[in-house]
Amino acid sequence: MTYYLGSKAEHADELLKIMLPYRKSRMAWVEPFVGGANVICRVPDGNGPRIGADINPYMVALHTALGNGWNPPENVDEALYNKIKKNPTKYPPELVGFVGTGCAFGAMWFSTYARNEKGTNYAAQSRRVALRDAVGMKGATFIHSSYDQLEIPPNSLLYLDPPYSNTTGYLGANQKIVIGESLNKNDWNAKKFWQWADRMVDQGHTVFVSEYKGPQAEAYPTPPRTEAHNATMAELRQLQADMQALGDAPTPPDMATKREALATALAGHERVRRAPCEALAARWKVVWEKEVKVNFAAVSVDVEAGGEAKTETEKLFHREA
C-alpha cells in the first residue's frame, strides 16, 4: 500500500540492500512502525517470520485483508469519503484504512478528499498499487500495537521508521489507539523512542532506524556534577551577587575578568559532564542518507497550489551491539 505519509516506497530497495545482508537464516524481520507496509512487502518471505505492527488499527486491518486477498474499491466519491471519515466504526476497518490514506490529500490520514485538476481517480490509483503490493503482504503477520508493547522474537532484525518529530498529519502517539478513537494525536517522544531503541540493541536485536536526526545527548541521563563543578558554580553565583550589590556603580575590571574565567571554566565542566552522553548518542552511525523533498512535513505547505516542499536529509542509522 504505497500511498502513505512518510512512505519509504521510493527508498525501500536501497534501504533493503543495506539491511537484508544482516538478516541471518530464520531471523524475524520486525517493523514496529509498519505504516503503509512499503518496506515489509519487499522483504523476501520464507526466511523467517515477518511482523509488521502499527498503532493505527485500520492500517493493520488493511494489510491483513490485502494479504488475504481483499479487493479494495475502484471508486470512492467524496460523499462516501466523508461518511467514512465521520463514522469510521460503521465500516470495515480495512476500508477505513484504504480510504483514510489512499483517497486522502497527501495520503495524510483523513485530511481532505484527494482531487486534482487532471481528475485523477485516487481510489483506482491506490487500489492498483495496493494490489501490486498485496503479493508481498502474504505470509506476513500484522499486529495492532504500540512499538513499546510489541512482543518481539529474540534476535530479530528491527527496522524502525517512527513518525518524525514535529510533523503533523498522522498520529505520533505513544499509546495504543482503539478503533473509533481520534488518530490525530502528535505527542511523539523522541527521547523515549531512542532509549527503547538502545534497549533493543542491548537485548540482542539488530536495529536500523530511519530518521532525519539521530539521538541527542539529552536522551541519556547526565552524570552528577563533580565537586569542582559545584564549587565553580557557587563561586560564580557569589560573584554575581557581589556585582549586583554594587548597584549602579561600574563593574571593577578584575571582577569582570573573573566572571569571564569562571563562565569558561563552567562551560568546560559542563562539556566534560556531557561527554559520556554524547558518546552514547554517537554509537548510532549513519549508514545511508539521501536528500528528499518532504511535501508533508508542514501542513501549511500547500504543494498542490505550488508551495515549495521542504528539503530534508533522510538517514538510516545503525548501532552495533
Ligand X SMILES: C[S@@+](CC[C@H](N)C(=O)[O-])C[C@H]1O[C@@H](n2cnc3c(N)ncnc32)[C@H](O)[C@@H]1O
- Give me the residues that bind ligand X (CB under 6 A), please: 4, 6-8, 32-33, 35-36, 38-39, 54-56, 146-147, 161-163, 170-174
Q: How far apart are CA 309 and CA 293, in angstroms?
A: 6
- Residue closer to ligand X by CB (options 181, 235) is 181
The 10 Å Cβ neighbour count of residue 260 is: 10
Q: Give the separation between CA 203 and CA 197, rounded to whole angstroms.
A: 10
The minimum distance between CB 42 and ligand X, in angstroms, equals 10
Considering the complex, what minimum distance in angstroms separates the CB of residue 174 from ligand X?
Answer: 5
State in angstroms the smallest separation of the CB of 188 from ligand X: 7
Q: Least Å distance between CB 288 and ligand X?
A: 14
What is the number of the residue whose Cβ is closest to ligand X? 35
What are φ and ψ of residue 297, in 5° steps? Answer: -60, -35
Give the C-alpha separation, 166 to 211, whole Å: 12
Q: How far is CA 232 from the centre of its chain?
A: 40
Question: Could you report how far apart the first and last alpha carbons of the chain are, in Å?
Answer: 33
Q: Which is nearer to ligand X, 196 or 236 (CB)?
A: 196
Quick one: 180 or 252, whose CB is closer to ligand X? 180
- Shortest Å distance, C-beta 245 to ligand X: 53
Side-chain-side CA neighbours of residue 264 (13 Å):
6
How many residues comprise the chain?
A: 321
Tell me whether residue 56 or residue 64 sits nearer to ligand X (CB atom).
56
Give the span between the Cα atoms of 186 and 169, in whole angstroms. 8
